[in-house]
Amino acid sequence: MSIEQREARQPWILLTPALTAVLLLLIVPLMFIVVYSFWLKSAAGADTPGFFLDNWQETLTDPFYRDILLNTLKIAAITTIVCGLLGYPAAYFIARSKGNKAVLLVLLMLPFWISYIIRTMSWINILGVSGALNAAMLWLGVIDEPIQMLYNETTVILGLTHFLLPFMVLNIFVSLDGIDTNLEDAASSLGATRWQGFLQVTLPLSLPGLAAGGLLCFVLAAGTYITPVILGGPRDAMFANLVYEAIIRQLDWPLGSALSLLLLAVLGVLVLIYNRYLGMAQLAKGLG
């Protein structure tokens, strides 16, 4: 074998373990559940292989599934908007502050290291019947009896916002930090007010970061399983809860496959649209 041939083979040897893992543990399994979604669940024993449209018909026409899918998308959308509204000014402040930028950034990264389930359940300490807020209101005499503020759609959105806000702030910060501050100065020297300068120069330039943060928030919120179980009531199930129900409780794996693929398709379309207009590079910036 010549040296050139060996040179050409080296990168593939290096890539083989990782590529094999991704193909074997993600790509092939995804193709497998496409096939599986056309099988039928048997009352006893192994599922029946074949080409049945029953699961897809149920997934796509049952109003129960449709309502929960729409509700999931609604919750994800509200969460994303709230994250954007809370996150943008904060990211702007971090990007433009001089003294304590490093401290603010380290603090912003901290939640990524703190357990998701701990952060989610921490709201029970605040809003629960014997939580901080009730204790404070009882002490102040605002209420006579503790009120239940937990286990509804609002608390699900609250929990998701708390979990996803750092992703949003970080992504907006990355794009704001890359904008030359001279541009704003130039705008104001040409007679624009500070607000006009922000609206016409800074905001448009930071939109890619806002979009990247928004996509991450939306996709992560729409796929969430834990938050509605811990902070939601019996009626606040989201789509991932349906998948868990089908796969783990009812052991209806063909139906569970179809439901998973529907979720993947809906969120996949969003990712593709995003990729078409903005490209994946922006996302990698925020993650790296």
Partner 1 sequence: MGWRLIRIYTILVYLFMFLPIAVVVLLSFNANQFGSFPMTGLSTRWFETLWNNDAIMRAFRTSIVLGLMTAAISTVLGVLASLALVRYRIPGRNLITTLLIAPILVPEVVLAVALLLFLNFLNFGKSFTLLLAGHVIFTLPFVILVVQARLVSIKRDVEEAALSLGASPMQTFFAITLPLLMPAVAAGGLFAFTISFDDITGTLFWKPGGIETVPTQIFSMLRNSISPEINALGTVMIVLTVGLPLIGAAIARTLATRSGA
Site for partner 1 in 269-288 (CB under 8 A): 271, 280, 284, 287-288
* Shortest distance in whole angstroms from residue 193 CB to partner 1: 10
Q: Which residue has the tokens 């959105």?
A: 157
For partner 1, how many residues bind (rule: CB under 8 A)?
83
The minimum distance between CB 256 and partner 1, in angstroms, equals 6
Give, in order, the Cα–Cα distances in Å from 63 to each of 34, 67, 117: 22, 6, 31
Which helix (H) or strand (E) covers residue 164, if one does? Answer: helix 153-177
In the DSSP assignment, the letter for residue 50 is: S
Q: Strand, helix or coil at 26?
A: helix
Question: Cβ 28 to partner 1, closest distance in Å?
Answer: 7
Interacting residues with partner 1 between 200 and 239 (CB under 8 A) = 219, 222-226, 229-230
Residues ≥6 apart with Cβ < 8 Å to 220: 163, 164, 167
Over the window 53 to 82, marking each residue x when it contacts partner 1 by CB under 8 A and - when it does not, the resulting string is: ------------------------------
Q: Which residue type does 206 have?
A: S
Q: Are residues 149 and 127 in contact, defined by beta-carbon separation less than 8 angstroms?
A: yes
Are 153 and 236 a contacting pair, CB within 8 Å?
Answer: yes
DSSP of 56-85: HHHHHH-HHHHHHHHHHHHHHHHHHHHHHH
Span from 54-62, 181-189, 203-211, 250-258 in contact with partner 1 (CB under 8 A):
250-258
**CB closer to partner 1 out of 152 and 285:** 285
Task: Give the torsion sign (CA, 110, 241, 156, 86).
Answer: positive
Number of Cβ within a 10 Å radius of residue 153:
17
* Out of 42, 89, 235, 269, the residue judged to bind partner 1 by CB under 8 A: 89
Q: What x/- string results for residues 1 through 40 when contact with partner 1 is judged by CB under 8 A?
A: ---------xxx-xx-xxx-xxx-xxxxxx-xx--x----
Smallest gap from Cβ 161 to partner 1, in A, equals: 8
Given a contact cutoff of 8 angstroms between Cβ atoms, the answer to whether 246 and 256 are in contact is yes
For partner 1, the closer CB: 103 or 183: 103
Instruction: Decide if 137 contacts 213 (C-beta within 8 A).
Output: no
Residue 17 or 45: the one with the smaller Cβ distance to partner 1 is: 17
Between 29 and 204, name the residue whose CB sits nearer to partner 1.
29
Quote the CA–CA distance of 153 and 159 in Å, as a whole number.
10
Of residues 92-151, which lie at the interface with partner 1 (CB under 8 A)? 92-94, 104, 107, 110-111, 113-119, 121-126, 128, 130-132, 134-135, 139
Tokens of 20: 């094999």
164 binds partner 1 (CB under 8 A): no
Work out which of 81, 149, 205, 247 binds partner 1, going by CB under 8 A.
247
> Interaction with partner 1 in 167-186: which residues (CB under 8 A)?
169
Rounded least distance, CB 136 to partner 1, Å: 8
Minimum distance of partner 1 from residue 151's CB (angstroms): 12
Between 223 and 233, name the residue whose CB sits nearer to partner 1: 223
The nearest distance, CB 204 to partner 1, in angstroms, is 19
Q: How far apart are CA 165 and CA 79, in angstroms?
A: 9
